[in-house]
Amino acid sequence: MRRGFPGILLPIAVILLLSSCSKKTITFIGEHSLFTSNEFHRDSADKVDFLIESRKRIKRAQLVLRESQPTTIHTKDPVFFYPMGLILSWRIAYPGDIISVSENNYGSLIYHTSNKQRDAALFCTKLIDSCNFDLEKHLLGKYYAANTPSSPPKATTIAEIKQSLAILTVSRNNLVDSLAATYSLTRDFLDNKRYEIQADSLSKTYSLSKALLKPTKNRDEWWETCQSFIHDINTLPVKTGSFFYFRRCAEELLTYIAAERNINSELKTTADFTNKYHLINENFSGEARNYLLSDIIYQTLSKRLDIPSEYLHSYFKVCSNSQYKSEIKHKLRQKRKIDGIKRSTSRNDVLSIKTFKKSSIEDIINQEKGNIILLDLWASWCVPCREEIPFLKALEKEYSGKAIKFIKISLDKEIEKWENASQNEAFTDNNYLLLDINRSAIITQYKIETIPRFILLDKQGAVINADAPSPSDGKLKTLIDQLLK
């Protein structure tokens, strides 16, 4: 098995992290083996993405691990995390934890922490994942062919699907019980796993029924089936705060019934929002309704779409989850602050990641006169943009102290995604969000239809190259060197 860091550096790094880690932070360390090629992953990676969630919050975040760069998140509560792109159980991290992530010679991710009990929990979660795969293959294999739902066995019914899943659920719970008898596992961990098993069983009931039964039913019959699923999730006997584990089940059901009612699942317009709001209000209740309404309001606000006031009044009246409502109020304050910003005549208004105050691209250029400027137009969702970032950072480091500034301008429509990406990329300085993409003068003037796009300006602020080479292209460095002479 490969080593993580050089033998003498790892203890020093851990000592430094232990001294700085508090009970309000969780630190993740990506070890060397995570970023190198092996028999299972031929290509090396420069980063690994994780999804982070909290039981108490609507917001989901993306965590990016890079080699030799510990990543710290600030939280008072435990968080749930798993690698994006992989179907695995949640891992739990607690405030004060330092989690190291590595990859073994078989391509599996390995998690360690200094707390023995939590380390055992991370190990047991991996065992559960491994055993679950074999259990599913054995008990649900008749419903699948080549990893996709096959033609249903004769006389397949919901009762038969539920019976197969009930056997799988009992087997999984027995596995958890056997691990609890062998290892010192916390009550929180055991409760988490049992709720997770229950939620996964519900989710598989929905997906198998949709794949195997929907083609055999008419529209009205399938709608009745969906309604029975909704009744089950509306009446789940879960403890306070435990609906977190069933969020995805509720989201799946909402997607199903939205399709049946020809309602757009994506939130692109205010009309999309109002249609989904009514659909949720009419079909869901309790914690399912609390979560789904809060989630679509949060998404709509993040996309800077308008929400009619009567819907906000309705939401605060019907939602009984005070933590969700508090998060929505914060999001509303943020949107109103941005909406209240007086737009300049230049139509190039930007928001600073550092101060959350408005300025304009013209203001920034004027402030930096005497420096060469490279404008980087990017977005969190743009894969080529993110691939250029390591090269951009290398240039920033090489030209540190020289008469050149690297200005990042995000074209994200969702502030949340810009903030998360900026945090993951450590973009703290010279990082801005373009506030009005559709009306922006720079977008129109330079015919920016694709990103990444790099614009090079001289020391007087005049554009030298409106479509400059990218940081990964050596031609850009040649241009910069010539301008610095």
Q: What is the mean pLDDT of residues 57-85?
A: 83
Q: What is the mean pLDDT of residues 121-147?
A: 81
Work out the pLDDT band at 242, boundaries 50, 70, 90. Answer: confident
Work out the pLDDT band at 139, boundaries 50, 70, 90. Answer: confident
| 404-416 pLDDT per residue, tens | 999 999 998 888 7
Contact 276, 267 (CB under 8 A): yes
* Alpha carbons 448 and 192: distance in angstroms, whole number: 48
Give the position of tokens 């760069």: 69
Q: What pLDDT shows up at residue 12?
A: 39
Q: What is the mean pLDDT of residues 394-408?
A: 92
Q: What pLDDT shows up at residue 140?
A: 82
Q: Does residue 3 have a pLDDT over 70?
A: no
- Choose between 420 and 37: higher pLDDT: 420
| 208-226 pLDDT per residue, tens | 888 888 877 888 888 888 9
Q: Does residue 324 have a pLDDT over 60?
A: yes
Mean pLDDT is highest, among 84-88, 160-164, 277-281, for 277-281
Q: What pLDDT shows up at residue 439?
A: 76
Work out the pLDDT band at 155, boundaries 50, 70, 90. Answer: low
Q: What pLDDT shows up at residue 6?
A: 37
Q: Does residue 321 have a pLDDT over 60?
A: yes
Mean pLDDT is highest, among 84-98, 294-308, 348-362, 414-428, for 294-308
Report which of 78, 60, 73, 57 is spatially closest to residue 327, judged by C-alpha positions. 57
Q: What pLDDT shows up at residue 351?
A: 86
Q: Which residues contact 397 (CB under 8 A, 6 or more apart)?
A: none
- Which element (helix H / strand E) includes 20? helix 9-20
* Alpha carbons 394 and 389: distance in angstroms, whole number: 9
Work out the pLDDT band at 16, boundaries 50, 70, 90. Answer: very low
Q: Does residue 109 have a pLDDT over 80?
A: yes
Greatest C-alpha distance within the chain: 80
Contact 418, 380 (CB under 8 A): yes
Work out the pLDDT band at 13, boundaries 50, 70, 90. Answer: very low
Q: How many other C-beta atoms are found inside a 10 Å radius of the C-beta of residue 29?
A: 23
Ordered structural domains, the chain, with CATH:
9-114 (2.60.40), 117-216 (no CATH), 218-340 (no CATH), 349-484 (3.40.30.10)
Q: Where are the alpha helices (DSSP H) in 34-76?
A: none
Q: What pLDDT shows up at residue 7?
A: 36
Q: What pLDDT shows up at residue 342?
A: 57
Q: Collapsing DSSP states into helix, strand and coil, what is residue 378? A: strand
Q: Return the percentage of the chain with pLDDT > 70, whole number.
A: 88
Q: What pLDDT shows up at residue 158?
A: 82
Q: What pLDDT shows up at residue 11?
A: 42
Q: How many other C-beta atoms are found inside a 10 Å radius of the C-beta of residue 458?
A: 14
Report which of 317, 282, 311, 279 is spatially closest to residue 297, judged by C-alpha positions. 311
| 433-450 pLDDT per residue, tens | 998 777 788 888 888 888
From residue 279, alpha-carbon distances to 33, 269, 312, 319 in Å are 47, 16, 16, 15
Report which of 368, 322, 362 is spatially closest to residue 345, judged by C-alpha positions. 362
Q: What is the mean pLDDT of residues 103-132?
A: 87
Q: What is the mean pLDDT of the chain?
A: 84
| 170-206 pLDDT per residue, tens | 999 999 999 999 998 999 899 989 999 999 999 999 9
Q: What pLDDT shows up at residue 9?
A: 38
